[in-house]
């Protein structure tokens, strides 16, 4: 494989995926992460993104653990690929880490946030539904690069995903009713 000659190639990643070589794929991520290759991965052809996507297609406990770990680091493209994989695998225990990634995302792009929300929608269990409802009230925040347009995108995506889930519209109505009641109570004080 190409790693003997100074780096992995997408062909190497494809071969590992074909062989379901989770150990090899984890080794790629660990070696690249140790070398801090996350930041220039896209410029180098997205080897780490391809590796994350391959782990997501293979699945399995060790792959899932690494995908959840990736939500906490790397470039936003890697976090986004990990979220997509976790959603496709419907990993219920990834719901909270996905929401945490949504709240703590610092990239100025909306795309990773949308992918975290989509993954929660695909998971679709009660915890994911509760977290999508919480996403409806995320506010602007300069530290996490949440501008008004980012927040509007988060709210729209969360509502869209809730609408896809059986009973999700009911949850939205209940949440909006509670918000209205809270506002009314605040005005009466």
**Successive 10-residue mean pLDDT values, the chain, 189 residues:** 61 96 93 64 80 96 96 89 97 97 91 97 94 90 85 94 86 76 78
pLDDT at 184: 79
Decide: 28 and 47 in contact? Cβ < 8 Å.
Answer: yes
Q: In angstroms, rounded to a whole number, what is the distance separating the alpha carbons of residues 173 and 189?
A: 25
pLDDT at 172: 77
169: Cα within 13 Å, side-chain hemisphere: 3
Decide: 82 and 52 in contact? Cβ < 8 Å.
Answer: yes
pLDDT at 1: 52
pLDDT at 5: 40
In sequence order, what are the residues at sequence separation of 6 or more whose Cβ sits closer than 8 angstroms to the Cβ of residue 82? 52, 56, 67, 68, 70, 71, 74
Backbone Cα Rg of the chain: 19
Q: In angstroms, rounded to a whole number, what is the distance separating the alpha carbons of residues 47 and 7?
A: 9
pLDDT at 73: 82
pLDDT at 177: 79
pLDDT at 37: 62
pLDDT at 107: 87
In sequence order, what are the residues at sequence separation of 6 or more whose Cβ sits closer than 8 angstroms to the Cβ of residue 84? 53, 56, 115, 118, 119
């Amino acid at each position: 494989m190409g790693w003997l000659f100074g780096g992995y190639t997408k062909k190497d990643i494809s071969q590992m995926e074909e062989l379901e070589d989770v150990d090899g794929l984890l080794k790629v991520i660990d070696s690249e992460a140790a070398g801090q290759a996350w930041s220039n991965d896209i410029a180098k052809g997205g080897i780490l993104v391809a590796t994350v996507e391959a782990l997501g297609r293979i699945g399995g406990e060790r792959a899932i653990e690494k995908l959840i770990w990736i939500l906490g680091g790397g470039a936003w493209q890697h976090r986004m690929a990990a979220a997509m994989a976790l959603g496709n695998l419907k990993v219920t225990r990834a719901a909270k880490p996905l929401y945490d990634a949504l709240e703590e995302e610092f990239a100025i792009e909306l795309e990773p946030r949308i992918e975290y929300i989509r993954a929660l929608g695909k998971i679709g269990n009660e915890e994911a539904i509760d977290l999508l409802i919480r996403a409806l009230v995320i506010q602007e925040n300069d530290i996490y690069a949440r501008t008004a347009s980012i927040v509007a995108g988060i709210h729209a995506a969360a509502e869209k995903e809730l609408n896809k889930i059986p009973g999700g519209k009911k949850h939205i109505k209940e949440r909006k009713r509670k918000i209205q009641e809270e506002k009314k109570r605040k005005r009466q004080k």
